[in-house]
Amino acid sequence: MVDLNCIALLGIDVGFSRSRPTTGIAWSKDGAFTAARTHTDWHRRSQHIPPATTFTVIAIDGPLLPLGSADSLDRLCERIFIRGAFQSRCKPGLSHQGYGRDLRRAAAETVEQILHLAGQTAAGQKAIRNGVSIVEAFPNAFLGVLLPEGHFAMPAAGKRKKFDWLYDHAVDSGVLKRLFHTIGWQNPELIRALLTEKDHEKRAAWICLLTAACAATGGSEVVGDELGGWFWLPPTDLWAQWARDALAYNTMELRRNTHASRA
Say if residue 123's pLDDT is above 70: no
C-beta separation of 84 from 250 below 8 A: yes
Residues 230, 123: Cα–Cα separation, whole Å: 11
Higher pLDDT pick, 156 / 76: 76
Compute and round to an integer the Cα radius of gyration of the chain. Answer: 17
Provide the Cα torsion 89, 94, 98, 101; round to 10°.
130
At residue 158, the pLDDT reads: 58
Angle at 45 between CA 68 and CA 10, to 5 degrees: 75
pTM: 0.94
At residue 127, the pLDDT reads: 77
Domain count, the chain: 1
At residue 71, the pLDDT reads: 87
At residue 256, the pLDDT reads: 76
Say if residue 238's pLDDT is above 70: yes
Q: Coil, strand, or helix at residue 26?
A: strand
Report residue 63's pLDDT band, with 50, 70 and 90 as the boundaries: very high
C-beta separation of 46 from 93 below 8 A: no
Provide the Cα torsion 237, 243, 247, 249; round to 10°.
120
Lowest-pLDDT range of 21-25, 81-85, 200-204, 257-261: 257-261
Pairing of strands 8-13, 23-29: antiparallel
C-beta separation of 77 from 71 below 8 A: no
Beta bridge partners of 59: 11, 135
Say if residue 146's pLDDT is above 60: yes
Mean pLDDT of the chain: 91
Angle at 114 between CA 212 and CA 224, to 5 degrees: 50
Which residue type, as a one-letter code, is found at position 106? A
158-208 pLDDT, tens digit each: 555 899 999 999 999 999 999 999 999 999 999 999 999 999 999 999 999
Give first-to-last CA distance, the chain, whole Å.
Answer: 46
Report residue 258's pLDDT band, with 50, 70 and 90 as the boundaries: low
Residues 149, 8: Cα–Cα separation, whole Å: 34
Say if residue 75's pLDDT is above 60: yes
- Using a 10 angstrom Cβ sphere, with 0-12 exposed, 13-18 middle and 19 or more buried, the burial of residue 158 is exposed
At residue 119, the pLDDT reads: 86
Structural domain including 113 reads: 4-262
Half-sphere exposure of 111 (CA within 13 A, CB side): 22
